[in-house]
Chains A and B, each alone.
Chain A
Amino acid sequence: MGVIELTDATWDEEVKGSDVPVLIDFWAPWCGPCRMIAPILEDLAEEHGDALKVGKLNVDEHSERARSFNVTSIPFCIVVKDGEVVAEMTGAHPRSKFDEVLAQIL
């Protein structure tokens, strides 16, 4: 399915209205650690296919949503399932950490 670009405008439809869990990465182009985890998110989107939606939200362009989560550090990842936040990860983490978090949810 690939990684979807989320915006403040598409959030409700793509995240809240999703039938499957959504992993969201809050990122910005100037953030080095965000670049480090970008390939992990792409791999996860590929490998989990229809079981997981993976999206990224550029906090520079869409700050409203970031503010609503009290985000003051990026990368910041959350997993939303049935409209609820079920996991949060602050900072960059290795692939194994993502696998561990997703294993509890999927």
Chain B
Amino acid sequence: MSTSDDVRNVTIIGSGPGGLTAAIYTARATLEPLVIEGEPSSTSDQPGGQLMLTTDVENFPGFPDGITGPELMAGFRAQAVRFGAEILTAKVSRVDLTTWPFELWVGTTDGDPTYRSRSVIVATGASSLMLGLPAEQRLLGHGLSTCATCDGFFFRDQDICVVGGGDSALEEALFLSRFARTVTVIHRRDTLRASKIMQARAFDNPKIEFLWNTVVADLLGEERLTAVITADVATGEQTTRPFTGIFVAIGHRPNTGLFAGQLELHDNGYLRTFDDRSHTSVEGVFACGDVQDDWYRQAITAAGSGCMAAIDAERWLEAKGH
């Protein structure tokens, strides 16, 4: 294996469970991976990925008493660093996958690339969807939150709501019920997508109520959220409800913007991988985690696919003579 100063063997874009597992494996394979981990934000597109905004993780094997998302990701990161992964806190602004070695830019997209790399592992994950209401900008941080773990505490003894019907929505509702007086789950259908265990817990919780077949039409309040206007899906009838907190968990969008026109996507926007492996449509570019998974979307499956991408990249580089 040869390394030179200006061409990396492996560059990993993203640092959730997928990206950091790929980093651990490629670091142990002495490929000296560079992980471009992203930049701090509160939107779920940030170093450490979506788990940075979650509370107790109860389904990651090896932690019988659970572990918090940020603690788990700090462990992933430390393990990658221990084996020599280099981690850069920055966002990739542009990639060129039409030349080889591949080219990556951090910061300005003009001029020479910041890095050149023989292989790239895409682990950019997915971002939370917001409601798309103009009022969201004004009320973000003043009643509207993207992080139940961070902000639940501020809603002690208040009546608040969670929008969504999946595991994330119920996990947030259950967490928020520790603080709030009532938590109303607003869901546009009449059944939940969430797992049976989460549904059972939510139905058993006396503080959690459900508004079925309902969507959010608008948010009221200037300095702080004072009420939420909901609409009945069937009749369109609107109701003003005095919720002082709203948490949105209506799903995710894969972070593929960087690769537009360069990597093949599925019709639903997720990155396409081939042959039950981690290969993308460009030879030498591999993908793992939620950016290529619209089905399982778990920390453990992201980690598993990160391992696959690392092994695929290692074997591909070996076949190339590196």
Instruction: Spell out A's residues near B (CB within 8 Å).
Output: 28, 30-37, 40, 59-60, 66, 70-76, 90-96
On whether A60 and B141 interact (CB within 8 A), knowing A33-B40, A36-B46, A94-B41, the answer reads no
Find the A residue at minimum CB distance from B145.
A73
- Closest CB of chain A to B83's CB: distance in Å? 22
Can you name the residue of chain B whose Cβ is closest to the Cβ of A35? B70
B218 an interface residue at 8 Å Cβ cutoff?
A: no
Q: Are B141 and A72 in contact (CB under 8 A)?
A: yes
The A-contacting residues of B in range 151-166, CB under 8 angstroms, are 151, 153-155
List B contacts of A93 (CB < 8 A): 40-41
Is residue B140 within 8 Å, beta carbon to beta carbon, of the partner chain? yes
Chain A residues in 8 Å Cβ range of B223: 70
The distance in angstroms between the C-alpha atoms of A66 and B156, with both chains bound, is 14
Given contacts A30-B68, A36-B48, contact A72 B149 (CB under 8 A): no
**A37 vs B73: C-alpha distance when bound (angstroms):** 15
Chain A residues near B151 (CB, 8 Å)? 72-74
A91-B142 contact, Cβ under 8 Å, with A30-B150, A32-B52: no
Q: Which residues of A contact B46 (CB under 8 A)?
A: 33, 36, 92
CB contact under 8 A between A73 and B48, given known A34-B150, A92-B42: no
A36 to chain B, nearest CB (A): 4
Residues of A within 8 A of B89 (CB): 95
B141→A40 contact, CB < 8 A: no
CB distance from B92 to the nearest CB of A (A): 13
Give every chain A residue within 8 A of B69 (Cβ-Cβ): 32
Known: A59-B153, A93-B40. 7 other contacts (CB 8 A): A31-B149, A73-B42, A73-B140, A74-B151, A91-B141, A92-B42, A92-B46
Residues of chain A with a CB closer than 8 A to B143's CB: 72
Most central of B43, B48, B147 by chain A CB within 10 Å: B147
Contact B68 A33 (CB under 8 A): no
Contact of B140 among A32, A59, A90 (CB under 8 A): A90
Instruction: Select B153's contact among A28, A32, A90, A91, beta carbons within 8 Å.
Output: A28
B47 within 8 A of A: yes
How many whole Å from B90's CB to the nearest CB in chain A?
8
B272 to chain A, nearest CB (A): 30
Cβ–Cβ < 8 Å partners of B41 in chain A: 33, 91-94
Residue numbers in A under 8 Å from B19 (CB-CB): none
> Which A residue sits closest to B139, measured CB to CB?
A72
